[in-house]
């Protein structure tokens, strides 16, 4: 399962949460309908852009891990395992 299918609803959740908070604040401060709608549209657009950029950045960061780093770590762990086995054999003698 790739990253985009895992996060397909993340953008909508972020935008709807921000819009809901803006709507509640508009009701609390008793703003007029036109002002409230303008604020809600601005919030929708801004948070849609922020969520899109955030998802792309997270995807980019996830892809930055190179396969050579993984193989280097496994070689290091293998050498440590061999050293531990040799040490255990020497202690057993």
Determine if the pTM surpasses 0.85. Answer: no
Considering the domain boundaries, does residue 90 fall inside one? no
User: pLDDT, tens digit, for every residue of 2-21?
Assistant: 777 888 899 999 999 999 99
The pLDDT tens digits of the residues spanning 41-92 come to: 999 999 999 999 999 999 899 888 766 656 555 555 555 556 666 666 666 6
Does residue 8 lie in a domain region? yes
Within-domain flag for 89 = no
What letter would DSSP give residue 29? T
Judge whether 14 and 47 are in contact, CB under 8 Å: yes
Say how many domains are in the chain. 1
Residues 21-49 have pLDDT tens digits of 999 999 999 999 999 999 999 999 999 99
Question: Given this model, what pLDDT does residue 88 score?
Answer: 62
| Residue 41 belongs to domain spanning | 3-84
């Amino acid at each position: 399962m790739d990253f985009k299918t895992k996060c397909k609803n993340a953008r909508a959740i972020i935008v709807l949460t921000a819009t809901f908070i803006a709507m509640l604040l508009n009701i609390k401060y008793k703003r007029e309908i036109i002002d409230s709608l303008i604020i809600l549209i601005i919030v929708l657009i801004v948070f849609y852009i922020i969520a899109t950029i955030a998802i792309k950045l997270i995807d980019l960061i996830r892809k930055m891990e190179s396969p050579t780093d993984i193989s280097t770590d496994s070689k290091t762990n293998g050498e440590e395992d061999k050293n531990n086995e040799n040490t255990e054999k020497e202690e057993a003698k």
